[in-house]
Amino acid sequence: MSRPRAWPALVPAIVLTASAALVALGSSRSPSRLVPDLAWHPPSSDLPFGAGEAGVDLLALVAHATTRALLLAACVAGFGFLLGTTLGSAAGLARGRFERVTRHACDLVQAFPSFLLALAVLAAVRVPSRWHVGAVLALAAWAPFARLALGQARVLSEAAFVDAARALGATRARVLLRHVLPNLLGPVAVQLGTSAAGVVLGDAALGFVGLGPRDGVSLGALLDQGTVAMVRAPHVLAVGALAVALVSGSLQLATEGLRRLVPASRENV
């Protein structure tokens, strides 16, 4: 598949990110400004998305919450990608005990629900912040990347061009950096969109149960507002649910774009 065909799958995530950032950074709307007289006000020309609890502007809240959720997702998924890909590829190339330990560590992390771990950790934090949420979600973010990289590295370690590099005297580090890592980036990069979408959903879920940032600027807090006033102001829940669906859906779609954009294999000797 050609690279130009990758962009249509990436466009929704790019447009959503740019739109949210423009509204959040380039507008005078504040997600913290409360106007009690406008509480639960339906959408209008002045309030395109309507108002939520205590008259908060939902457009400003969605824009700021989406921008912060995307930034958190990028940081956590990027950390998981760097750590997991490096660890998994090294283990797949080294084989032996290192590979077994890495595989068992991935099994252990993926067997335990990350959301329950986040609940347990954040419940013990007096004032949870986005740093706490990101750190907890990052604890499990590396495992899927490591498992994918490990499997790809095992296959690549037996490839002809890797054997040729070894025959020419390449060290294990050079084989890893010059031949194995570049050739497994394509398959492993596919996990980036899925991991980022999972971070967004995890962040929203934690905010919904009250373990998100205390400033209330999160998609989970917006969903919580919507459920409280589901009958009186259904537009709040609709805005929150649609925002979560669009953010996670665009990131999942970007996965396909990444798969097409990054070459699956490049035989470098």
Over its length of 269 residues, how does the chain's per-residue pLDDT go in tens digits?
445 676 788 899 999 999 999 999 887 888 888 889 999 999 998 899 999 998 999 999 999 999 999 999 999 999 999 999 999 988 988 888 999 999 999 999 988 888 888 888 888 888 888 888 999 999 999 999 999 999 888 888 777 777 777 777 777 777 777 777 777 877 788 888 899 999 999 999 999 988 888 888 999 999 999 998 998 999 999 999 999 999 999 999 888 777 777 655 444 44
pLDDT for 72 equals 95
pLDDT for 28 equals 82
169 dihedral zone (left: phi>0; alpha: psi -120 to 50; beta): left
Contact between 65 and 222 under an 8 Å Cβ cutoff? The reply is: yes
pLDDT for 155 equals 84
Q: What is the pTM of this model?
A: 0.87
Overall residue count recorded for the chain in this entry: 269
Please tell me the distance from the alpha carbon of residue 182 to that of residue 64, in angstroms, as a whole number.
36
Please tell me the distance from the alpha carbon of residue 38 to that of residue 56, in angstroms, as a whole number.
8
Please tell me the distance from the alpha carbon of residue 107 to that of residue 1, in angstroms, as a whole number.
33
The 3-class secondary structure across the chain, one letter per residue, is CCHHHHHHHHHHHHHHHHHHHHHHHHCCCCCCCCCHHHCCCCCCCCCCCCECHHHCEHHHHHHHHHHHHHHHHHHHHHHHHHHHHHHHHHHHHHCHHHHHHHHHHHHHHHHCCHHHHHHHHHHCCCCCCHHHHHHHHHHHHHHHHHHHHHHHHHHHCCCHHHHHHHHCCCCHHHHHHHHHHHHHHHHHHHHHHHHHHHHHHHHHHHHHCCCCCCCCCCHHHHHHHHHHCCCCCHHHHHHHHHHHHHHHHHHHHHHHHHHHHCCCCCCCC
Contact between 40 and 229 under an 8 Å Cβ cutoff? The reply is: yes
List b or e across 198-223, with b for residues whose CB sees 16 or more CB atoms inside 10 angstroms. Answer: bbbbbbbbbbbeebbbeebbbbbbbb
Quickly count: other Cβ atoms within 10 Å of residue 192's Cβ: 22
Contact between 133 and 118 under an 8 Å Cβ cutoff? The reply is: yes
Measured in whole angstroms, the distance separating CA 166 from the mean position of its chain's CA atoms is: 37
Rounded to whole angstroms, the maximal C-alpha distance in the chain is 77
- CATH class of the region 3-261: mainly alpha
Question: Amino acid identity of 126?
Answer: R
Measured in whole angstroms, the distance separating CA 188 from the mean position of its chain's CA atoms is: 14
